[in-house]
Amino acid sequence: MKVLITGIDGFTGQYLEKFLIEKNFEVYGTVIAESGQENYLMCNIRNKSEVDGVIELVKPDYIIHLAAISFVGEENASLIYDVNVIGTQNILDAVLQTSVIPKKILLASSATVYGNQNAEVLDESMCPKPVNHYGISKLAMEHVAQTYFDKLDIIIARPFNYSGAGQAEHFLIPKIVKHYKEHSSVIELGNLHVAREFNDIGYVIRIYYELMIGEIRSEIVNLSSNKTIKLLDVIEIMNKIAGYEIEARVNQAFVRENEIASLSGSCEKLYSLIPSASSFENDFKKMLESMYLS
């Protein structure tokens, strides 16, 4: 069975490729730059003809669409919408034009679509209220994708924050771990009292796999754990792992306007669709230790 992963050379894609190969899938992926790997195909998803070529060549049994502008701080708003919305539409249109329709198309959205809900636990029944271009673009992607529900087997996942070894250092957890690895005495962060889910990449990959092979379709579901941790607690755990204490300072330049104070996802729908997901390993401290030692 062939799986096509868009953005395969990204943080999530690399873990997912390894996992699927171990499950005996034939894995292909799209990349922006030449990689030298036979199963990596150059493709800018903003270019419809390039997407057409990849879909026609691979004829995938499954598609996992990860390619996106995923950094909330990206300043080029036009690029965010072009990649995250139009890029997704190009993929879905390309699939409809081929003679082989995939068994499942899994689209990665984001928990940022919820925005500020004045609720401690966010569930799929809530009306999304994104507060930045990234979240808005992902919500627009969801709306576009839903117009294809009657034509293709699609499921949309809304991952909450996750991390692991190899994630880019401009993301929060890798940034914190990097400071400890460099034995810094001070770290400057934004609001230290925000509470977030910081799930392990392994947990996320297991759920993506189950969503892909399952009979689930035409659904939007949280990829969450309903477990939050404050940044101050992250610092405390890292102090113990590294064996020394770092001073955490608030830099107002890092405090975002319309900051989402608490972001935790309900697992009720996820666990109803994938009952075994509640037992998947998701150890935050173990994840930090692996990142620190990598």
Catalytic hit among 62, 134, 148, 209 = 134
Geometric angle at alpha carbon 90, from 203 and 65, rounded to 5°: 10
Identity of the residue numbered 236: E
Q: What are the distances in angstroms from CA 38 to CA 45, 48, 285?
A: 19, 22, 37
Alpha-carbon span 22 to 205, nearest angstrom: 13
Residue 40: active-site member: no
Alpha-carbon span 188 to 8, nearest angstrom: 32
Alpha-carbon span 138 to 113, nearest angstrom: 7
**Cα dihedral 283, 285, 291, 294 sign:** negative
Give the residue numbers marked as catalytic: 134
